[in-house]
Amino acid sequence: MTARIIDGKTFAEGLRGRIAGHVQRLKIDHGLTPGLAVVIVGHDPGSEIYVNQKARQTVEVGMHSEKYELPEDTSEAEVLALVQRLNDDPAVHGILVQLPLPGQIDASKVIATISSDKDVDCFTPASVGKLQIGLPGPVSCTPLGCLMLLRDTLGDMTGLHAVVIGRSNLVGKPMAQLLLRENCTVTMAHSRTRDLPAIVRQADIVIAAVGRPQMVKGDWIKPGATVIDVGINRIPAPERGEGKTRLLGDVDFAEAAAVAGAITPVPGGVGPMTIVCLLANTITTASLINGLVPPGDLTP
């Protein structure tokens, strides 16, 4: 193995410490306690774990945390009314409605109701527009985490060729925007791209966000390239015991690590960064709502 392992877990811990420092300063200098409200409807086990982690980490960095756990049969009108109430609540600077929502609720309607000033997921059309044209505001959490790891690994990325595999609204598209801002040459590849391995072989930076376990092979990687694996694929692992699973990325780690210059592992790479970036976005929105300049280390 030649690649340096990009340790997202350690980086995320350090970032959490810096965020706690920003929270203290906002409290002392401005009497402002950033607040994050998370909303979950129903009992999807994966979502419950995520929401609990989000609420716990919010408290750990000294922020105000509100958690709304609504029953599976909650009506769309009730969720919209809650979001509206949170929009109007001055103690809340970030609103996160955990997806997926039960079938009776139109997620796009709920997202459109979240005030873009409090949209810490960067899901609303207004937030996406701000990100696109470079106005201050929240940034999609996973791409923001990837960007922070890339800056820490590479420093200036001017002129590098970044290939983003995957064109989702959640990761691929905002990631490409952020890399453009870093002066990268950006190629967006996806399931219909012809000769994907040849395209990826041109990349100085590879962002794999396709959701297919170990799709990116070692011989797709240019020697010395930086590889960021966004994939979180849960695979049955009977060798670990009955019903057990393990996580695999979108990159064949063993193969790629023999060629790349630096690479994120799964788990322990991009994953730990995402929740911390949610906290970073809450500092950003709390600052902007109160007419303050957001801390420069938490936003692009």
Q: Which residues make up the interface to ligand GUN (CB under 6 A)?
A: 96-99, 121, 141
CA–CA separation, 141 and 227 (whole Å): 18
98 is catalytic: yes
CA–CA separation, 169 and 177 (whole Å): 11
9 is catalytic: no
DSSP state of 84: H
Q: Which is nearer to ligand GUN, 98 or 115 (CB)?
A: 98
**Catalytic pick among 117, 119, 121, 252:** 121
Closest residue to ligand GUN, based on beta-carbon distance: 99
Smallest distance from the beta carbon of 110 to ligand GUN, in angstroms?
10
Q: Which is nearer to ligand GUN, 25 or 43 (CB)?
A: 43
CA–CA separation, 98 and 86 (whole Å): 15
**For residue 183, is it left (φ>0), alpha (ψ between -120 and 50) or beta?**
left
121 is catalytic: yes
Catalytic residue numbers read 54, 98, 121
